[in-house]
Amino acid sequence: METQAQITGIKPGDHDAYMRLALSLATRSPPKPTNYRVGALVVDVATNEILATGYTLELPGNTHAEQCCIEKLAKQYAVDPALLSQALPDEVAIYTTVEPCILRLSGNKPCVERILDIGKSRVKTVYVGVQEPDTFVSGNSGSQRLKDAGIEVVHVPGLEDEILAVATAGHKAAT
């Protein structure tokens, strides 16, 4: 049986292609002035299999892309999201178009905390397309928090303009 990465033709370690796929997912999110349109995916590093994909507001509630991936994985493995470290393969990577949030103004659990719940025992690397703009939360330190916990954060360059255009669609233009 072919994996999703094989079907999409993404080769192991092709971070640009994975980020482009995450960006295509972000375009599925409805443009709203109150959120960023973000796409994310979780990849099994050993097999190059895409385990889950997600985008902002894909699932019911005020859901973020990384949250959607984690909730789908929890359902797939029939475990509580906080117990995913016991179910996931040995090494997964997360690709997300915008740096994971460290604070949710809605009161929901931040994506950084969700990733840390899985832990560095499984999530070795988070690949990001852009840092979170200061629109909603000034000075997001999500990447630093992940690094402090032993999870590598890698910027995938080259798509910043496209990512920001998609992420901020629906926002009022600065006057």
6 vs 137, higher pLDDT:
137
**Residue 26: DSSP 8-state:** H
Give the per-residue pLDDT at 1: 42
Each domain of the chain, given as residue ranges in start order, spans 4-167
**Secondary structure element (H or E) that encloses residue 130, with its range:** strand 123-130
Q: Is the pLDDT of residue 51 over 60?
A: yes
How many CB atoms are closer than 10 A to CB 161? 9
The single residue of 49, 58, 66, 99 carrying the catalytic annotation is 66
Name the H helices within the chain. Answer: 4-8, 15-26, 65-77, 111-118, 142-148, 160-167
Confirm whether 91 is a catalytic residue.
no
Name the H helices within 36-170. Answer: 65-77, 111-118, 142-148, 160-167
Helices 65-77 & 111-118, crossing angle to 10 degrees?
A: 30
Give the per-residue pLDDT at 92: 97
Percent over 90 (pLDDT), the chain? 73
55-101 tens-digit pLDDT: 999 999 899 999 999 999 999 999 999 899 999 999 999 999 999 99
Give the per-residue pLDDT at 132: 74
Give the per-residue pLDDT at 145: 92
For the ranges 32-36, 46-50, 128-132, the maximum mean pLDDT occurs at 46-50
Give the per-residue pLDDT at 139: 63
174 strand-pairing partners: none
Domain 4-167 indexed as CATH 3.30.470.20: no
Give the per-residue pLDDT at 2: 45
Give the per-residue pLDDT at 148: 94
Q: Is the pLDDT of residue 4 over 80?
A: no
pTM of the model: 0.92
